Chains A and B, each alone.
Chain A
Amino acid sequence: MGTAAVRNQIRRLRFESGEMTQQALAEQVGVTRQTIVAIEGAKYAPSLELAFRIAAAFRKPLEEVFQFHQQEEK
């Protein structure tokens, strides 16, 4: 099994949601701003519950916000 990474479109979706700030999104989904920063920077993969809450904040389906990429080991 290779390495896996969860990528996301949060930065773009924030921009499309009227320049929503990281703080505003954090307050809406109930985490700290630093956690949103870490998720955007792919330094933290959120729990399924938090991923659903973020998707709901943008009124988008989960797979439009988060994408799972699996890389095969060489």
Chain B
Amino acid sequence: MNASFEEKSVWIQLISMVGVLGSYFVVAAHMLSRGVMVVAAFVPLFFVAVVLLVVVLVAGHTVVAIASKPEGRDERDRLIGWRAERNSSWILSVGVLTAITGMVLAIPNVWIAHLLMLSMLLSEVARYVFQLVYYRRGM
């Protein structure tokens, strides 16, 4: 794969996040559908997901670093990162505003918490996708 270490890192983060946190949301959705409405019930699952995410990220970056020499970020990597963030950050903003509206409407905290986490996940995934598009198609 003719890609810089930064681009490979973005691929690792995208796949890890979608795989691990995506699995968390599948299980959490199942729990919510069964009527689990206590935030504390989701904490162990979330803790496992975060630990797993860290392990997968470290393992992925270690493998890539062994296979190809890590290089620092250059001006193109930084510009791609900024542009991707500018194009994706609105998703988190919408999630936060929707969560505030939900709190005003007294929606259960478990829904608010998951709405915030989901918007954070979607915002990050969109950022990684934009980065990969800019790396492949140019700016």
Contact = CB atoms under 8 A, between A and B. Distances in A.
Contacts of B138: 38, 41-44
A31 B2 contact: no
Contacts of A28: none
Contacts of A34: 2-4, 7, 76, 135
Contacts of A37: 2
Interface string B46-75: 000000000000000000000000010011
Interface of A: 30-35, 37-38, 41-47, 50
Contacts of B34: none
B75 A50 contact: yes
Contacts, number: 39
B75 A47 contact: yes
B139 interface: yes
Interface in B1-57: 2-7
Given A34-B76, A46-B76, A47-B75, 4 more contacts: A34-B2, A42-B138, A43-B138, A44-B76
Q: Which of B5, B7, B76 has the most CB of A within 10 A?
A: B76
B75 A46 contact: yes
Contacts of A30: 74
Contacts of B5: 32
B4 A32 contact: yes
A42 B76 CA distance: 13
Given A37-B2, A38-B76, A44-B76, A32 B139 contact: no
B128 to A, nearest CB: 17
A41 B4 CA distance: 16
Contacts of A32: 4-6, 71, 74, 76-77
A41 B135 CA distance: 12
A16 B71 CA distance: 27
